[in-house]
Chains A and B, each alone.
Chain A
Amino acid sequence: MIAALICVISVAALLQFFVSYSRSVIAAYQKSELSEQVREVARIEGQQVRSEQFGQLVQLVRLCPQKSDDQGDLAVVRIYYGMMGWLGALARSVAPGVCKWAERERVNCTYFAAVALDRRIAYSRALLAQQMSEH
């Protein structure tokens, strides 16, 4: 009985901590504005992104040379995006409010991926420029 109670409380706490942790990671990227380059590459109109673009943006991020400081963030946000998709699908008919919230979170995840792509493109360009100047 005690073990079952501990299990339920711990899983609930784990979910809450994970959601907050992921949001703290995403929040750090939301201050950045998307450049013209990334909007062109990913076909983004204005500063708005759609949640369905997440997969495509992650694929583009993978094509760029790895920037060592965003790998962990990307892994956390990918799990969070999947979790929100699952939550949204579950809550669609039962709790439309939660479904809307999950969708907003997925949009935030997509914006995160767009900023990550933007940074990687800038990093690639800097790398290329450095190589050009060396030769």
Chain B
Amino acid sequence: MLGPLDYGFSILSLMIEAYVVVCLCVSKNYLRYLSLNIYMLAAVGVTIGQDVALLHFGVSSQVYGYVYYYTDALLTISLFFVIMGFYQQVFHQMGVGKYVRWASILLLSATALFSYLVVRRMPSHHLTNRFVVEMSQNLYFVGVVLTYLLWGAVVKLRETRTRLIQLVLALGIFFSSEAAGYALRNLFPGLEANFLKWVPPIAGTFLPLAWAYTFTRIPEQARLETARVARVPAQQLTAHQHS
């Protein structure tokens, strides 16, 4: 049985996702963040679809389970294209757009192959709790790795666009919290009922909220010194000693 908090998160994330799309359309940035927009529109559709399935079949039905976990997996895969869009923006000046496109095709193929192998490994093709948790955990972890590499590129190339930096970092927080949440569910299934069930709705609301905030507050021309953001204590202490 879902409570008012579950519905609250669902409605809130739906509204913020729609807001991000409207915000980008109004500011004429729709094409610059095309993959992000497509993801947000897909997220709106998925949230509505999940709510319809919930109302028709109930939270404990297998149909709702299928709809929830498979649409979630598809959304995660579509987020990989958002990451690729960010890669393209970061590497734009180096003229490696062609390689990024190839990398995204390769990534999609690898993800499809991986998902197929996971499904084939199952003794029956029924949706089991362990299967969906493992599959989501792995997909989100791929997202963590991709975002981490992107963040590394942002720092190495001394990217200064504040908007891009905040969009990437928010994505990193989303992916890593989801991956950690699913891994913990895999390790300690008992924690799910009280604590871990809140990780997906909180992370799912945080991401559009942080993006909405960035698009509303941070102008496109705002700049930030990446070194100030990314320096870890050891590096800072060394710099302090040298100075």
* Interface of A toward B, CB cutoff 8 Å: 3-4, 6-7, 9-11, 13-14, 16-18, 20-21, 23-25, 27-28, 69, 72, 97-98, 100-102, 104
Contacts and interface: CB of A to CB of B under 8 A. Distances in A.
A45 B154 CA distance: 37
Nearest to A101: B233
Nearest to B148: A13
Contacts of B215: none
Q: Which 6 A-B pairs have the closest CB atoms?
A: A17-B172, A7-B183, A14-B176, A10-B180, A10-B179, A3-B186
A10 B176 contact: yes
B173 A10 contact: no
B176 A13 contact: yes
B236 interface: yes
Contacts of B26: none
Q: What's the dominant secondary structure at chain A's contact region?
A: helix
How many chain B residues sit at the interface, stated as a range, is 35 or more
A3 B183 contact: yes
Interface in B126-178: 134, 137-138, 140-141, 144, 147-148, 151, 162, 165-166, 169-170, 172-173, 175-177
Contact of A28 (B162, B170, B183, B210): B162
B173 A21 contact: yes
Nearest to A25: B166
A24 B222 CA distance: 12
A13 B217 CA distance: 26
Interface of B: 134, 137-138, 140-141, 144, 147-148, 151, 162, 165-166, 169-170, 172-173, 175-177, 179-180, 183-184, 186-187, 209-210, 213, 216-218, 222, 224-225, 228-230, 232-234, 236-237
Given A7-B184, A14-B180, 14 more contacts: A7-B180, A10-B140, A10-B176, A13-B175, A20-B151, A24-B162, A24-B165, A24-B166, A24-B229, A27-B225, A27-B228, A72-B213, A102-B233, A104-B236
Given A27-B228, A72-B209, A98 B169 contact: no
Nearest to A70: B217
A21 B236 CA distance: 17
Contact of B233 (A20, A23, A28, A97): A97
Nearest to B217: A69
A13 B144 contact: yes
Given A13-B148, A24-B169, A69-B217, A97 B180 contact: no
Contacts of A3: 134, 137, 183, 186-187
A102 B166 CA distance: 22
